[in-house]
Amino acid sequence: MIRTSRQLADGREILYYDDDRHPAPREAEDARDLPPVATRSQLRFDPLLGEWVVVAAHRQSRTFLPPADQCPLCPSRPGRPTEVPESDYQVAVFENRFPSLATDVDRDVPPAAAGNPLAELRPGFGRCEVVCFTSDHDRQFADLGPERARLVVDTWADRTAELSALDGVAQVFCFENHGEEIGVTLSHPHGQIYGYPFVPPRIEKVLASVRRHRAATGADLFGEVLAAERTGPRVVAANEHWTAFVPAAARWPYEVQLFPTRKVPDLPALTGAERDGFVAVYLDVLGRFASRFDTPMPYIAAWNQAPVGDGRDDWWLHLQLFSLRRAPGKLKYLAGSESGMGAFITDTNPEDVAEQLRAVVLP
């Protein structure tokens, strides 16, 4: 893999990732006249839930579902400069123009929210990056093929290592939102990476469960769950290095978790063979998501990596892939129980979902 760093007109960094078997010069300059990025994010602490909330009101003006010929993630062309100055690219990563978190955020914030000394305030420090999987506007991740998908995996691993090394970053989160029903604002095939200054609630909760289980039994909860699922009725796809299964207590109508066979904390720790193994299983499962109904399912793909600091030795890397589509033309909305109480009520049976996904005939 070849990584080339350049700067955009407003000073943001853009990185090109190229397969070293297909190198390309990356010399194009961004000729746009852009104002500097101004990030005014804050972290506000919810004392009742014990969780941080990111307040990023400046993002209200971000680009929203432009037509394809105005896509800011497509390569630049004469008379139509975009976020990617090159006329073509393989994988491109750049700092978000409308970031929720930024390294140069305004640090001058009061200690607490007005009128509530328990609601601690902190600057919205961190980093938010956009990852463009391909220059082709009309492709999906499921269509990338093994070679390009592997380059994306290597890019995720490289960015995870780089962001983890930033002083103040506590968690690196790589993810993809796919489909308008999920809430994407740009239809070009892309994902994002967040470098959080705190450990998110899901990771904290899972770590607490893992530690309780070890204290009570001496065993690794991740390992026991994976061993049980690998021989159970909910496996969708598997190979030597990875297993994709519908979790027994799936929350979403269609949900699959992908676990490596070997316990590793994060993407950089995967070997080349394990990365290839992931690509094979992931493209298989994405193909099933795309073909289960008459139109491809919207989905979120969320990497669950170890925290940067405490908890790395306890963690087992895995990917969550889930869709809120429960039937053709029907979505699962997070209504009263889910949104109000955080108590999920699922509309599908996990064993049935696994059987349905296994039965999909891939093109």
DSSP 8-state symbol, 341: I
Q: Give the 3-state secondary structure of residue 321.
A: strand
Domain count, the chain: 2
Say if residue 26 is in the same domain as residue 131: yes
Is the per-residue pLDDT at 107 higher than 90? no
The residue among 167, 198, 229 that closes a domain is 198
341 & 213 share domain:
yes
Residues 241 and 136 in one domain: no
Q: What is the CATH number of the domain that holds 171?
A: 3.30.428.10
Report residue 33: phi and psi, to 5°.
-100, 95
How large is the average pLDDT for residues 297-309? 97
What is the predicted pLDDT for the residue at 185?
A: 86
> Residues comprising the binding site?
71, 74, 137, 188
The region of weakest confidence among 6-10, 54-58, 130-134, 342-346 is 54-58
Q: If pLDDT is split at 50, 70 and 90, which confidence band does 60 have?
A: confident
**pLDDT given for residue 5 in this prediction:** 97
Are 24 and 170 contained in the same domain? yes
Choose one of 164, 198, 232: the last residue of a domain. 198
Kindly list the distances between the CA atom of residue 332 and the CA atoms of 73, 182, 246, 254, 269, in Å, as whole numbers in the listed order: 30, 11, 17, 10, 35
What 3-state class would DSSP assign to 203?
Answer: helix
What pLDDT sits at residue 83?
97
| 166 pLDDT higher than 80 | yes
Instruction: For residues 216 and 120, state if they share a domain.
Output: no
Indicate which residue of 190, 213, 241, 318 is catalytic. 190
Judge if 34 and 181 occupy the same domain. Answer: yes
Three-state secondary structure call for residue 93 = strand
Judge if 177 and 146 occupy the same domain. yes
CA distances from 53 to 163, 204, 218, 243 (A): 20, 15, 35, 33
Both 181 and 209 in a single domain?
A: no
56 vs 85, higher pLDDT: 85
The pLDDT of 79-108, averaged and rounded, is 94
Q: Is 35 in the same domain as 180?
A: yes
Same domain for 186 and 113? yes
H-helix or E-strand spanning residue 282: helix 272-291
Q: What is the pLDDT of residue 274?
A: 98
pLDDT at 57: 84
Partners of 93 in the beta sheet?
15, 131
Handedness of CA 337, 339, 343, 348 (dihedral sign): positive
**Residue 192 belongs to what domain range?**
2-198
Does one domain contain both 12 and 160?
Answer: yes
Query: Residue 106: which pLDDT band, with cuts at 50, 70 and 90?
Result: confident
N- to C-terminal Cα separation, the chain: 30
Catalytic-residue membership of 241: no
Bridge partners, residue 177, by sequence: 300
The DSSP result for 342-358, as a single string, is -----SS-HHHHHHHHH
Distance, in Å, from the CA atom of 141 to the CA atom of 286, rounded to the nearest integer, reads 8
Q: Are residues 158 and 223 in the same domain?
A: no
| Residue 194 contacts residue 126 (beta carbons within 8 Å) | yes
Q: What is the distance between the alpha carbons of residues 142 and 160, in angstroms, rounded to a whole number? A: 22
Is pTM, for the whole model, over 0.85?
yes
Rounded Cα distance between 72 and 137, Å, is: 10
Rounded mean pLDDT, 157-186: 96
Q: Is the pLDDT of residue 64 over 80?
A: no
β 42-46/116-123 pair status:
antiparallel
> Shortest CA distance to 358 belongs to which of 204, 260, 254?
254
Rounded Cα gap, residues 11 and 16, in angstroms: 16
- Distance separating alpha carbons of residues 266 and 156, to the nearest angstrom: 10
Q: What is the C-alpha separation between 310 and 60, in angstroms, rounded?
A: 35
- Which residues face 172 on adjacent strands? 195
**Distance (Å, rounded) from C-alpha 72 to C-alpha 12?**
15
Boundary-marking domain end, from 180, 198, 216 = 198
Q: What residues are designated binding site for Zn(2+)? A: 71, 74, 137, 188
What local confidence, expressed as pLDDT, does residue 38 receive? 78
